[in-house]
Structure 1
Amino acid sequence: MTLLTARRPSLSPLLARMRDREPGLAASLLAGAVAAGLGFASFAALLMLLWVSSPYPDSGPGGALHVAAALWLLAHGVELVRTDTLSGVPMPVGVTPLLLLALPVWRVYRAARDAVDAPEDADGPPPVPARTVWTGVVLGYLGVGGAIALYCSGGELRASWPWVTVCLPLVAAGSAAAGVWSAYGCPREPVLSMLTVLPGPVRRVVFGADARARVGTAVRATGAATAVLFGGGALVLGVSLVWHGGAAQASFLQLTEGWTGRFAVLVLGIALIPNAAVWAASYALGPGFLLGAGHGVNPFASDPAPLLPPFPLLAAVPDAGAGSLPNWLAGLVPVAAGGMAGWFVARGAMERPEPGEAVAARWSAARTGGVMLLTATVCAAAFALLAELAGGPLGVAALARFGPVWWQTGGAVGAWTAVCGVPVALVVRGWLVWRGRTRGGSIPAQGTGAGQDGKASASNFGAAADGTGNGPGKAEEPTTGEGTATAGAEHQGAEGGRSGEEEGREGHDEGAGKARGKEPGTGKNLGRPETAPGTAGAAEEDPYEILPADDPFGPDWSDDLTHAARWTAVREPAAPRDTPDDCRPGSSPTAPAWPLLPERPRPASTEAAPDSAEPVTDTTEQPPESH
């Protein structure tokens, strides 16, 4: 019995592996199913409340649940088919309320983010693998969603199955991917791997030198411009509703008489306000929107359909006829959006200086204009997607198209953003550069030889410590802070009254370019090495500041995805075996080890070597103090 037990294979590794993998997948499946169930339950609760309080409950609770299922699918962008028409011909319903779309997106996003179970501290258990979480959440959500679609197929509002197979997985997969990516700290590598399918010129813009700063600036500027367009559209909608307040009130009261029906109309109107804001923004951009096939509404002419259903938001449509000055004033919205995008790009083109340093431009004027064009392209794509989601059919024939045309709206957004944003970006960038040069052209001096902390300070490029610039060789900076403090303490007596100007003249008499140090208590020269005039602050500069900026629109030779192996091979023979470690590439600011990669390690500190005029930088360890 003992031998049989000893020879029996152990199942502990398999059980441990199952314990590690199955709970994550099972929890992810459950999270996706719960997200779909809670979303449907919220719609069902609202519809059941309206059915119970309605004075005309004709269909019963089953009909209310079928309508709730149809609305839940419509919130995912699924086109519905209405069968109870007077003519007997099924009519499509494809206008997706954007406010309802935000509910399933948020549910799936939170479910995927919570299913990762990322630890709050480093000592906690590792998070669930991203692929496991994404697969489980999507499969769980689609399982419940498919059951809801099957249940909805027996009602008067039925889902179109081609739209179910496209929209439902797209919403679930996209929202789950965003939740997992956010839970892992928004890493850069998945985004870069997805963007490798882009063409070569576009990939050079995204992956070239300084790619993260340019793409991040373009995304922030796009968000700001889209927010201004959306807010401006909502403002235009509100002004039009107030202008047509009588017609909007009459249509609201005409639809139903009971308070339950009016509450339902109010809820539907609130859910469609984001759609109406996108319509109004498209109107301000110029292309306008369609109220039926062949009936366009834009600032220059309004031709609404003659038989529109009575609805409060449709009462805000401008009257038929040619546009006038109040209609043309809506064009200020895209101008403001383009100016906002240009402002964000101009701010992104400037470096963030340290306290006391001058403001410097990160990009040239040409590169700033290129980033602005990239912003216009991204903004056009984002708003074209919003325009496509905000419209759709409400029937056949004349009601086959309602809302803005996506390609017209996207093209108008790109043109307005480029035309209005590029001049603003260039002008604001030039103004910021000019203001930085006039207000802070150099680093201010820290004080004289007897200043606070007993330190004799030096300017950035070897100017005199008193700010006069008369001492070209007066760049004093003792090697150790201990000796400096001792010297400052003992110089408070007879030698503590000497000004920086006198020391500058004395240093000039001894010879320009010598860095002088005082031995504690004696005032003797310690024999600091000679430094060329104007290079005293070179060791304090960023070693990568002296390199020329790489052209992101040039040849694709700095692509960190396709040429990483090449740079690794080039970097190997760059350091011979007989070369000391402190002289290898990467230790000198004039020859960094990886000068062309997008992300370059910044050295912790840089000091001048005691036996060499050139600064030596170690990018891996802290530089030793010289004595």
Structure 2
Amino acid sequence: MPDTPDRTDDSMAPEVFETLDDAVRETVRVDLANHETRVVDTGARPTVPLDRANHETVKVPGQRRPPQRRGRAPMLVAAGFATLWAALIGYLPVAAVVGLARTFEGAGGLRGAAAGGLAAWLLGHGVPLGTAIGPVSLAPLLVTLLAAWRLNRAGLHVTRAIGARRSGSLRAALLVGLTVGLWYALLGALAAMLLSGHSIEISPMRAAGQFFLIGTAAALIGSLRSTDAVVVLARKLPAAVRHGMRTGVVAALILLAAGAAFTGLSVAIGGGDAADTIAAYRTGVAGQAGITVVSLAYGANGVIWAAAYLLGPGFALGTGTEVSLTEVPAGPLPLLPLLAGLPAGPMGGVGVLLLAVPVVAGLCAGVMLTSRLRRDLEQAEPRWALVLGSAVLAGPAGGLLIGLLAWFSSGSLGGGKLAVIGPNPWLTGALAAGVIAVSAALGAAAARTFRKK
């Protein structure tokens, strides 16, 4: 019997079967044009012996099955289920915390916890509540972050469900964001209508608008990441704009991290006053635990207020009451454990050192900018125009982010003295933009000039 090749793939099937003897040809018929094999003799095995001494065999190639395509879910159905799940995950923890805190008088049991949780959930989305003490619009940003995180995941899941993942389609990402936003607006309006009249006044139209904005923005970010459309958009931007936006966000995040450290240190130092504030409520262990968690929900607000404090303008704790490096509030303050970390007086000389924190944040972001340019451009030294242009553009990007956060962290806790709480978003954002632009340019230029050999 002639030698046969060692290859046993489909492409060698014609060569292999041309060498078979007549007896085997009667058993197996090979369609050389379509590469299909059909066994005529049902008693024959699906393998053909090639060398009787070594008993080497080659498997008859089977018929290939066409790939099966997975079905795609309708956009409205997928977005509806994902949005409803995101809303439930965002609402249930809030209802549990409010039930422990017992913030609503006479609202005991599950019904009271459900109503209180619904009000806090709406407040977390920036929906103002009309109460007996006046309008309450100070949003607990921890609730906002929880809702935004779940909506971000909803946008990602809907993108996968409709088969648009890794497609690079900006249109698909926009459709996902808008659809999730519309469903979320419907849920927000429904929640406002259910709660309105229980000693609280809420505008369903205002709730629908706030929920639509937050739902669309958060879901759009998730969908842009899932479709890779954010990469497509970034490649269309000029290099200086792209790197400047990233540097500004990095500088803002470093500043917020410094604000978080400053807030935690201040509350730790005033821990005794915070414990006395919690004990003053006299609500029992469960109620005090709930009040503590409520204070933590406003902890994210405190981080942004601390960043504004480090920048210089500070923040307000009521009409005509400013907290800054040179001023401290006088008179009674809201009984919140978070406010136990307020400074007892002006910082004086130490305040000058604290003003250097935003500058250091910008310097660090500028140094990272130059390092990233060297790595991305794969050259020894990036051009001065790109380095300085990106650093200067980082100022408006970081200032815009800080200003938006300052605006969303502000609000009111009723009428009268507590009608204004939080930093001034315009002043805080403008100062942040200037500090980040100058310090990032200095840091990037220093890293460009004094590179380690």
TM over 0.5: yes
2:110 corresponding residue in structure 1 = 61
The code of the aligned residue for 1:230 comes to L
More relative contact order, 1 or 2 (CA 8 Å, 6+ apart): 2
Q: What SS does the corresponding residue of 2:450 show, helix, strand or coil?
A: helix
| Distance change in 2, residues 1:340/1:250 (3 Å) | same
| Identity percentage of aligned residues | 31
In the TM superposition, residue 229 of structure 1 has moved relative to its aligned partner by: 0.8
The code of the aligned residue for 1:39 comes to G
The code of the aligned residue for 1:363 comes to R
Q: Deviations over 1:565-588 (max 9, x none)?
A: xxxxxxxxxxxxxxxxxxxxxxxx
Q: Deviations over 1:238-275 (max 9, x none)?
A: 23223333322221221234001111111011111111
Contact 1:92–1:395 (CA under 8 A) maintained in structure 2? yes
The structure with more helix, counted as a fraction of residues: 2
| Distance change in 2, residues 1:155/1:120 (3 Å) | closer
Map 1:227-626 → 2, pairs under 5 A = 227-302=253-328, 304-320=329-345, 322-350=346-374, 360-364=380-384, 366-432=385-451, 435=452, 439=453
Greater Rg, structure 1 or structure 2? 1
CA distance in 2, matches of 1:226, 1:398: 31
Q: Which runs of 5+ in 2 are unaligned?
A: 1-69
Q: Deviations over 1:328-348 (max 9, x none)?
A: 332232122111121122223
CA distance in 2, matches of 1:218, 1:337: 15
Contact 1:78–1:163 (CA under 8 A) maintained in structure 2? yes
Contact 1:30–1:140 (CA under 8 A) maintained in structure 2? no
1:33 corresponding residue in structure 2 = 84
In the TM superposition, residue 284 of structure 1 has moved relative to its aligned partner by: 0.9
Contact 2:393–2:437 (CA under 8 A) maintained in structure 1? no
Q: How many residues align?
A: 382
CA distance in 1, matches of 2:268, 2:231: 47
The code of the aligned residue for 2:449 comes to G
In the TM superposition, residue 188 of structure 1 has moved relative to its aligned partner by: 4.5
CA distance in 2, matches of 1:181, 1:353: 25
Contact 1:134–1:180 (CA under 8 A) maintained in structure 2? yes
Q: Which runs of 5+ in 1 are unaligned?
A: 1-18, 86-90, 193-205, 440-627
- 2:127 pairs, out of 67, 74, 78, with 78
CA distance in 2, matches of 1:269, 1:45: 15
In the TM superposition, residue 60 of structure 1 has moved relative to its aligned partner by: 4.5
CA distance in 2, matches of 1:174, 1:108: 9
1:155 paired to 2:198: yes
The code of the aligned residue for 1:148 comes to A
User: What root-mean-square deviation, in Å, do the aligned CA atoms of Structure 1 and Structure 2 show?
Assistant: 3.2
CA distance in 2, matches of 1:121, 1:413: 38
| Distance change in 2, residues 1:40/1:294 (3 Å) | same
CA distance in 2, matches of 1:103, 1:395: 25
| Distance change in 2, residues 1:167/1:24 (3 Å) | closer
CA distance in 1, matches of 2:174, 2:267: 48
CA distance in 2, matches of 1:121, 1:152: 38
Contact 1:346–1:425 (CA under 8 A) maintained in structure 2? yes
In the TM superposition, residue 169 of structure 1 has moved relative to its aligned partner by: 0.9
Q: What SS does the corresponding residue of 2:440 show, helix, strand or coil?
A: helix
CA distance in 2, matches of 1:231, 1:154: 41
Contact 1:80–1:159 (CA under 8 A) maintained in structure 2? yes
In the TM superposition, residue 373 of structure 1 has moved relative to its aligned partner by: 1.0
The code of the aligned residue for 1:23 comes to P
TM (normalized to structure 1)? 0.56
Map 1:107-146 → 2, pairs under 5 A = 107-117=150-160, 129-130=172-173, 133-146=176-189
TM (normalized to structure 2)? 0.76
Contact 2:72–2:162 (CA under 8 A) maintained in structure 1? no
Q: What SS does the corresponding residue of 1:255 show, helix, strand or coil?
A: coil
| Distance change in 2, residues 1:217/1:115 (3 Å) | same
CA distance in 1, matches of 2:336, 2:100: 23
Contact 1:66–1:157 (CA under 8 A) maintained in structure 2? no
Contact 2:99–2:116 (CA under 8 A) maintained in structure 1? no
Q: What SS does the corresponding residue of 2:280 show, helix, strand or coil?
A: helix
CA distance in 1, matches of 2:301, 2:112: 27
Q: Deviations over 1:101-152 (max 9, x none)?
A: 0111122221121112269999x9x9x9545534442333222222111111
CA distance in 1, matches of 2:208, 2:234: 26
1:456 corresponding residue in structure 2 = none
| Distance change in 2, residues 1:32/1:335 (3 Å) | same
| Distance change in 2, residues 1:424/1:190 (3 Å) | closer
Q: Deviations over 1:525-582 (max 9, x none)?
A: xxxxxxxxxxxxxxxxxxxxxxxxxxxxxxxxxxxxxxxxxxxxxxxxxxxxxxxxxx
Q: Deviations over 1:134-189 (max 9, x none)?
A: 44423332222221111111223443446324311100111121122122123445
CA distance in 1, matches of 2:162, 2:77: 19
